[in-house]
Chains A and B, each alone.
Chain A
Amino acid sequence: EAGVTQFPSHSVIEKGQTVTLRCDPISGHDNLYWYRRVMGKEIKFLLHFVKESKQDESGMPNNRFLAERTGGTYSTLKVQPAELEDSGVYFCASSQGLLGGSYEQYFGPGTRLTVT
């Protein structure tokens, strides 16, 4: 069974440009999460999809970030326009269910975004 995959693995863009990150969850996982780790800080929650619906987007930093999940399958996270403080590693995770938060979240390898 394939794990969570993310593309690209690395992205270097200039301030003001647009970048789109993609996540393919484990097949059959309705729950998809995005997290971000800024250098030296904790991994922080961005948002949670259940199928194609945004269940919780309370962690999204501002309206320069737009997440979508087409047909409840893969998800994209677009940053437009990118700022220097957006640099970090973006992780995607998926889980089969919720059950009060006890289900394991399976993480992808992350996308390292560098904004110069």
Chain B
Amino acid sequence: AQSVTQLGSHVSVSEGALVLLRCNYSSSVPPYLFWYVQYPNQGLQLLLKYTTGATLVKGINGFEAEFKKSETSFHLTKPSAHMSDAAEYFCAVTLYSGAGSYQLTFGKGTKLSVIP
């Protein structure tokens, strides 16, 4: 069965510092990988996704993630944190559930706090 592990339910960084949110997955086949962000009182918004091709994926708001098959990782980074980055971040993989259906399997989420 596929699973997603996000290390750290809460991460705090100083404004301007590097943001690193960790995600490891287990999958028996090459996965499709996603990072979503949820700002307070809003729905989940796609930050970036990896399907095929280049393993370094750039997303919105200056975020990027690198797919490392050997490490089964898809860590999210941003060089310089901004106050507006404070939110909850979710890593997810696509699971084929049979009968032509695909569902997202999520990690538990990481709440990012940015300290001024």
Residue positions of A touching B, CB distance < 8 A: 3-4, 33, 35, 41-45, 48, 50, 55-56, 58-59, 91, 93, 98, 100-102, 104-110
Contact = CB atoms under 8 A, between A and B. Distances in A.
Given A3-B43, A56-B97, A107-B43, A100 B108 contact: no
B43 A56 contact: no
A56 B105 CA distance: 14
Interface stretch (B13-21, B45-53, B67-75): B45-53
Given A42-B108, A109-B41, A55 B32 contact: no
Contacts of B104: 33, 35, 43, 45, 105
Closest 10 CB pairs of A and B: A101-B102, A101-B94, A56-B101, A107-B44, A45-B103, A107-B43, A43-B106, A109-B43, A102-B51, A55-B101
Interface residues of B, number: 29
Contacts of B43: 3-4, 91, 107-110
Contacts of B102: 48, 98, 100-101
Contacts of B100: 50, 55, 98
B49 A102 contact: yes
Nearest to A57: B101
Given A43-B44, A56-B97, A102-B32, 20 more contacts: A4-B43, A42-B106, A42-B109, A43-B90, A43-B106, A44-B106, A50-B101, A56-B101, A98-B100, A98-B101, A100-B32, A100-B94, A100-B102, A101-B96, A105-B104, A106-B46, A107-B43, A107-B45, A109-B42, A110-B43
